[in-house]
Amino acid sequence: MSIGGIRGNPAVARKRHCHRQGIRICRGSQVLNVACGGTLYQDIGKELSKNFPPEKKVVHMDYDNYDGHRHVVNIVEETPLHQWFEESLQDNMEIRVNSYHHQRVKRLAQRFKPMAYAPDGLIEGFYDPDAYNPEEGKFIMGLQFHPERMRKVNSDEFDYPGCTAAYKEFVKAVVAYQKRLNIIKRVPTSLKLDKELEQKRNVIVRSFSLARNLYEGGDNARQLKESDLKPGVEFFESNVALSVQ
């Protein structure tokens, strides 16, 4: 499983990361989207229309206020982001997130579902509904913003209680995933017989061995007693009876 940004060309990312469990942040979310068949805006300022109404214009990069810059995003209902930030959401389903980028998801890969939009319509978060269940070790999503850096000025306090939820849920998925791997890799221990069963097994094995010698006409065949062969006969008859039922 992985976390954070993924570097490398899209072909390598497709092969290594498209189906790998993890949370991709910022550039990592962009690479994940491309690896799975989506596309990007290479430069938001140049490629997007500059005729947006004032209320829809969004500054996605503020070099003068790098960590302090925030813009509004609208959370999509019934998504992981909705669950994590639910107690902080008002009727408008908005929170304010940080932003450090000039590239962005353009066409979202088919397998993903959006979790949040900026006012200009750009996707701020997405996930794979078929690969998200932390309790079962499933976790594939991308976030354009950095929840871990959304903290109040001169404080370690997070902007919202939900900022830590992404990482808590990811850790939960990692633990569940590891447990599942351990179960798969676990080799069953051999069955240990108690002394009585072990003795019976040895008697039956000896009986079959003597019967084989008798069949092959060994030198000791004439010295065999009926009682020596009886355990093997009884075992054979009982198993034949079970197979007929």
What phi, psi does 107 have (nearest 5°)? -110, 120
Query: Of 17, 18, 26, 124, which one is the catalytic site residue?
Result: 26
> Per the structure block, which two tokens stand in for 205?
């094995």
Going by the DSSP 8-state scheme, the letter that residue 159 receives in this structure is S
Active site residue 148: yes
Active site residue 26: yes
> Per the structure block, which two tokens stand in for 11?
């072909």
> Per the structure block, which two tokens stand in for 185?
């890799």
- The residues, any chain, with a CB within 8 Å of residue 41's CB and separated by 6 or more, are 47, 48, 103, 104, 105, 106, 122
Query: How far is Cα 146 from Cα 3, in angstroms, rounded to an integer?
Result: 12
Going by the DSSP 8-state scheme, the letter that residue 194 receives in this structure is P
What phi, psi does 16 have (nearest 5°)? -95, -30
> Per the structure block, which two tokens stand in for 107?
């066409």
Active site residue 146: yes
Query: Of 69, 82, 86, 148, which one is the catalytic site residue?
Result: 148
Stretch (H or E) spanning 83: helix 80-85
Query: How far is Cα 82 from Cα 162, in angstroms, rounded to an integer?
Result: 9
Going by the DSSP 8-state scheme, the letter that residue 78 receives in this structure is T
For residue 133, give Cα distances in angstroms to 61, 115, 136, 181.
Answer: 33, 15, 5, 16
Active centre residues (catalytic) = 26, 146, 148
